[in-house]
């Protein structure tokens, strides 16, 4: 499907050329870049802030892989399929769990230092949905920061990897046949590469992370505004499973009406034995699932939400007082410091927690090699929908997914390059000009979008709530179009481009969620409370065409 829309933006004032552009600098993006360089291709890494400021550095728990004695990829596969609630792509999960252990070992060889025991053996812990200890971690609860450190150091050590920081990607460039020819971007820098420019490339890899900022309360950093999904939609690519947004059950409750990025309390805390309790100290997860507090995240988030509603409470509690001061300091130093910074000492008091938007299980639809429906456009990490997560991501599978599928993309690009199938294509300037410019909302629309999405498409959804959200989002789009028609458009700049991306992603998410009339995984409909395999054990694919956002049902999962 050819591109039908593009962001309103000035014409590129500068142009660069490379072999592959990687957009994003988390575990997926930097792993892709390093492996693409190993294949002998030139790489330019574009990142929105600085190299280590994405979601990867905030990951606390760890990386799931079958590395422990007695554990096997088959067991890891079984746990992943259960968490995914019937809509995982089993072939993709099998790739993840079989290639995952070696991918982790390669990360260690690169320099990532995971926690070990006195004999040097890797320490493993458990998280929700896992029946085995298979989570490798670093710095107790600073796994993402250590992975990011190791990858950033490796990238800096390769002078042939070009870095463009403080850059927001805008739109894909294509040739006359709709194949990838590069992208446009806006650089908030100095020197020649300042403002809107273009990078011509043989392929583009999206590794832009998540879209948590579409909701008011999230664990995602401020840069997670769904830029990759929005670019892909405007480029004519398919996205899938957008309705499955995982709300992490234990996010630090910092007070009523709290918004923006909130502190995460890792699932590993429950993995080590912390209990979920109400104000009276009652463990309400006992008896609700065989794994109690370590049930899959959707089950725990729903249980907390129900308990809050039943008791008229704004939060529940996570009680780890029995750990003692030493364990908190050694195993969870980051969480301990975060809690104390917000006036709670988990050594002596329970932590107030409530669910918040955490991870997008859906995204830009890819095959097993990271290829999207637009030739030459790849995606990996949270921006992608590989089919691994299904309706609910299994804890700590996300970092592993980034590693495994980034390596697969690099391998595919190397093979295509060696076969002469990766030419530098001519940009179809006429097609780019013919695409409909997206009117830009005012910067303050961001808060309105987040409010509409949290109220209408948050943890608990219904036809009525999502209709209100859809109506509100449509009004924002109509208002932007009206101001543009009156020659009073919002200025094209980072804040308005981000608002436009959030508006498109929110609109697509609500459309998919309204279409799925059942409860499955992290998609919870109060008006359709039951899982309906007969009608809904399938994927929903969303596209953007001249008529707007369209959702279609895909094949039945077996």
Q: Are 506 and 454 in contact (CB under 8 A)?
A: no
What six digits make up the tokens of 421? 């199938």
C-alpha span between 314 and 533 (Å, rounded): 33
C-alpha span between 536 and 241 (Å, rounded): 12
Q: Are 303 and 322 in contact (CB under 8 A)?
A: no
Side-chain-facing half-sphere of 392: CA atoms under 13 Å: 27
C-alpha span between 261 and 145 (Å, rounded): 17
Q: Are 240 and 57 in contact (CB under 8 A)?
A: no
Q: How many residues does the chain have?
A: 558
* Residue 10: Cβ within 10 Å count: 10
Beta strands 316-319; 377-379: pairing state: unpaired
- Catalytic-labelled residue, pool 134, 202, 297, 371: 297
Based on the residue annotation, tell me whether 516 is a catalytic residue of this protein.
Answer: no
C-alpha span between 503 and 234 (Å, rounded): 13
| Those residues with Cβ within 8 angstroms of residue 211's Cβ, 6 or more apart along the chain or in another chain | 220, 224, 225, 226, 229, 360, 502, 505, 509
What six digits make up the tokens of 33? 């870049």
Beta strands 43-46; 161-164: pairing state: parallel
Q: Are 399 and 59 in contact (CB under 8 A)?
A: yes
Cα separations in angstroms, 333 against 261, 338, 415, 508: 19, 9, 44, 39
| Those residues with Cβ within 8 angstroms of residue 153's Cβ, 6 or more apart along the chain or in another chain | 111
C-alpha span between 487 and 258 (Å, rounded): 36
* Residue 485: Cβ within 10 Å count: 10
Q: What strands lie across the sheet with 20-23, from one edge to the other? A: 161-164, 43-46, 20-23, 203-206, 377-379
What six digits make up the tokens of 339? 């809690």
- Active-site residues, by number, are 297
């Amino acid at each position: 499907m050819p591109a039908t829309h593009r962001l309103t933006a000035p014409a590129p004032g500068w142009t660069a050329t490379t072999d592959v552009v990687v957009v994003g600098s988390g575990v997926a993006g930097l792993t892709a870049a390093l492996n693409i360089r190993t294949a002998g291709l030139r790489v330019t890494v574009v990142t929105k802030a600085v190299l280590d400021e994405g979601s990867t550095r905030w990951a606390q728990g760890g990386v799931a892989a079958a590395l422990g004695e007695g554990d096997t990829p088959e067991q890891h596969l079984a746990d992943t399929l259960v968490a995914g609630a019937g809509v995982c792509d089993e072939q993709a999960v099998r790739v993840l769990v079989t290639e995952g252990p070696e991918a982790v070992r390669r990360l260690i060889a690169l320099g990532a230092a995971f926690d070990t025991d006195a004999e040097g053996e890797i320490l493993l812990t458990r998280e929700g949905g896992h029946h085995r200890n298979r989570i490798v971690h670093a710095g107790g609860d600073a796994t993402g920061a250590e992975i990011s450190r190791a990858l950033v150091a490796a990238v800096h050590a390769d002078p042939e990897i070009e870095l463009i920081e403080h850059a927001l990607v805008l739109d894909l460039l294509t040739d006359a046949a709709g194949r990838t020819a590069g992208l446009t971007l806006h650089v908030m820098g100095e020197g020649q590469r300042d403002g809107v420019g273009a990078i011509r490339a043989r392929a583009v890899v999206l590794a832009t992370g998540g879209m948590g900022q579409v909701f008011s309360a999230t664990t995602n950093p401020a840069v997670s505004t769904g830029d990759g999904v929005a670019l892909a939609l405007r480029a004519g690519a398919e996205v899938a499973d957008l309705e499955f947004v995982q709300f992490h059950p234990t996010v630090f409750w910092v007070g009523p009406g709290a918004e923006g990025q909130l502190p995460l309390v890792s699932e590993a805390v429950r993995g080590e034995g912390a209990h979920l309790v109400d104000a009276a100290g009652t463990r309400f997860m006992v008896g609700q699932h065989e794994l109690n507090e370590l049930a899959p995240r959707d089950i725990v988030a729903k249980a907390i939400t129900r308990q809050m509603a039943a008791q008229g409470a704004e939060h529940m509690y996570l009680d780890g007082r029995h750990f003692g001061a030493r364990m908190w300091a050694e195993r969870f130093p980051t969480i301990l410091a975060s809690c104390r910074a917000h006036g709670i000492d988990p050594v002596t008091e329970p932590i107030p927690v409530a669910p918040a938007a955490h991870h997008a299980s859906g995204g830009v639809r890819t095959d097993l090699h990271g290829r999207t429906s637009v030739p030459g456009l790849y995606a990996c990490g949270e921006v992608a929908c590989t089919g691994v997560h299904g309706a609910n991501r299994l804890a700590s599978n996300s970092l592993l997914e980034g590693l495994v599928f980034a390596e697969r993309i690099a391998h595919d690009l190397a093979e295509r390059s060696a076969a002469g199938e990766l030419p530098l294509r001519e940009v179809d300037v006429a097609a780019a000009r013919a695409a409909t410019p997206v009117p830009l909302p005012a910067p303050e629309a961001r808060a309105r979008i987040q409010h509409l999405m949290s109220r209408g498409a948050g943890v608990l959804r219904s036809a009525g709530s999502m209709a209100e959200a859809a109506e509100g989002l449509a009004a924002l789009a109509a208002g932007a179009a009206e101001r543009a028609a009156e020659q009073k458009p919002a200025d094209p700049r980072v804040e308005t481009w981000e608002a436009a991306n959030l508006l498109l992603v929110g609109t697509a998410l609500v459309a998919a969620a309204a279409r799925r009339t059942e409860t499955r995984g992290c998609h919870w409909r109060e008006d359709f409370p039951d899982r309906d395999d007969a009608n809904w054990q399938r994927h929903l694919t969303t596209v953007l065409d001249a008529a707007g956002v369209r959702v279609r049902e895909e094949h039945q999962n077996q």
